[in-house]
Structure 1
Amino acid sequence: MNKSQEKKSPRKTDEQAQFDSLLPSEPFTRRSFIATAVGAGFALATQPISAQTVIKTDSEGLIAGDIKVPAADRELPGYRAMPAGGSKLPTVLVIHEIFGVHEYLRDVCRRLAKAGYLAIAVDMYIRHGETAKMSNVQEILAGPVASATDAEHMADLDAAAAWAAKNGGDPQRLAVTGFCRGGRTTWLYAAHNPALKAAVAWYGHLEMAPTARQPKHPIDLAAQMKAPVLGLYAGKDQGITLDQVEDMREALKKAGSKSQIHVYPDAPHAFHADYRPTYRKEPAEDGWKRLLEWFRQNGV
């Protein structure tokens, strides 16, 4: 019996009842439960979404705009922001949610550029569909998200890092940050790239059932982190339980990792996403401060 089974179940809210209705009725393993819960919880957490953002960062003093990044099989559309006239700049790869490189991600890049970084985000679902133009979450999950592979994502991030190194970035000062599904990818990239100095994962999924396209998840790679990761998580997340967060903490501790996880007890999933109702100003601002300090502490 796992820890979550030992605890007395609280009274369900209407939202939790809706979540339960999305789960299959047949018996399944803990990991298959997690995989289903993640999909259902994510769908609830992202409705509705809006193109409007609370924070609007201008591009004064910056070079900012759309770019094309050469990858193994195609050019990846993306966005880059950096201080004007800068060279050998510390670089941050910004990994999008399942919604692609829309205005929220672009603004995040500009915020990082204002802090002195070259920030770059590329669309890593583009092979399987343009998610930024899709309005139905289930369509996105069943299409591009289900079709994309972790190997593609790792190669695309390598391509983004290589582009940045040739266009004003310092490859010796490379960091990564990502949100939601991009938070999960952040953990994976920290286990992938030995040149990485630091990573910050915002409420990225930690445990899911393995598939051919996604054979391993962050908890499977805890002992392989090549850069310290700061995980920023939400106590009220419907798709990522506190038990899973604690499991990841224990795995990192056992591995002797310098990675850390911070939880905001009253925050929901996607608390940094200022274009959604889930946005929470205080944890979002605190998390941003922690991100900048984490990068500084780790040489980026």
Structure 2
Amino acid sequence: MDDRVLSETVTITGDGGAQLEAYSATPLDRTPRGGVVVIHHMPGYDKATKEMVRRFAAEGYNAVCPNLYTREAPGAAPDDAAATARSLGGVPDERLVGDVAGAAAYLRGLENSNGRVGVIGHCSGGRQAFLSGCSLDLQAAVDCYGAFVTEAVPEGLPLRVGPIGHLAKDLSCPLLGLFGEEDKHPSPEAVAELERLLTEAGKEFEFHTFAGAGHAFFAVDRPSYRPDAATEGWKLTLDFFARNLA
């Protein structure tokens, strides 16, 4: 079996026809396979996120992560780009949907695509993964501790986004949610509210909450990292995508 993977910076077409920097990783064999759009977290288009893209390729998926801050800070270091984006209130929801749509189109246009695309995001990207699943034709969505889906942004935080829980009725695909029991954004109460909305809407979803974990438990380079929760989270994610993107 050919296990070679090509990882490279590419250009994709995002919302409004904008040309966006993106990081792509694809297996080199011609076997038809699903694709994964990786939505980076608030700290930006960084090394940790690119490593996730490469891992999905190593696991057999085409994967791409659009740099959502390309417009505000082209060519800037991740920390500087993130600071610029924060100062502007974050990525507008409508634009995010258009950018993810462009990333999904890029994946579906690859020669070895089977046409099925999922999305995953962590932190702000988790919220945006849910938003994408409710706004686009996708086959799977993974929300990793996405904040402010059902609750408002507290005063003092720079984000200018509102709750989007009311979009649960529009979810187009199965949803996997991975959360920390000790997280404050989203809190267990906020997760329970999203679960209620999805249940009332009759949507297919599964949520897992990890004891002893707070926000960003996947982040290997932070004190918040929880190896057991992250390992199980990866296992659940790969099983979920195997069931929905194959």
Query: Which TM-score bucket, shorter chain as reference?
Result: 0.7 to 0.9
Report the CA distance shift for 1:142/1:63 in structure 2 as closer, same or farther (over 3 A): closer
Report the CA distance shift for 1:152/1:141 in structure 2 as closer, same or farther (over 3 A): closer
Amino acid of the structure 1 residue aligned with 2:78: K
- Is 2:150 aligned against 1:201? no
Inter-partner Cα distance in structure 2 for 1:270 and 1:133: 17
- Trace 1:178-257 onto structure 2 (pairs within 5 A): 178-194=121-137, 196-205=138-147, 206-209=149-152, 214=161, 216-217=163-164, 219-257=165-203
Q: Report what 1:43 is aligned to.
A: none
Offset, 1:101: 1.8
Offset, 1:88: 3.3
- Is 2:96 aligned against 1:150? no
Q: Report what 1:261 is aligned to.
A: 207
- Is 2:216 aligned against 1:273? no
Kept after mapping to 2: 8 A contact 1:128/1:143: no
Offset, 1:202: 0.6
- Is 2:69 aligned against 1:133? no
The structure carrying a bigger helix percent of its residues is 1
Question: Out of 113, 116, 119, which is 2:57 matched to?
Answer: 113
Question: Out of 39, 42, 45, which is 1:98 matched to?
Answer: 42
Q: Report what 2:118 is aligned to.
A: 175
| SS of alignment partner, residue 71 of structure 2 | helix
The structure carrying a bigger strand percent of its residues is 2
Report the CA distance shift for 1:236/1:136 in structure 2 as closer, same or farther (over 3 A): farther
Q: Percent identity?
A: 29
Normalising by structure 2, report the TM-score. 0.87
Q: Report what 2:157 is aligned to.
A: none
| SS of alignment partner, residue 186 of structure 2 | coil
Inter-partner Cα distance in structure 2 for 1:169 and 1:251: 36
Offset, 1:73: 3.7
Inter-partner Cα distance in structure 2 for 1:141 and 1:236: 27
Report the CA distance shift for 1:104/1:147 in structure 2 as closer, same or farther (over 3 A): closer
Report the CA distance shift for 1:201/1:265 in structure 2 as closer, same or farther (over 3 A): same
- Is 2:8 aligned against 1:65? yes
Amino acid of the structure 1 residue aligned with 2:146: G
Offset, 1:215: 5.0
Amino acid of the structure 1 residue aligned with 2:29: G
Offset, 1:287: 0.5
In structure 1, the gaps of 5 or more residues are 1-59
Inter-partner Cα distance in structure 2 for 1:259 and 1:186: 14
What CA RMSD, in Å, does the superposition of the two structures yield over aligned residues? Answer: 2.3
In structure 2, the gaps of 5 or more residues are 154-159
Inter-partner Cα distance in structure 2 for 1:136 and 1:90: 30
| SS of alignment partner, residue 134 of structure 2 | helix
Normalising by structure 1, report the TM-score. 0.73
Report the CA distance shift for 1:236/1:116 in structure 2 as closer, same or farther (over 3 A): same
| Count of residues in correspondence between the two structures | 236
Offset, 1:166: 2.0
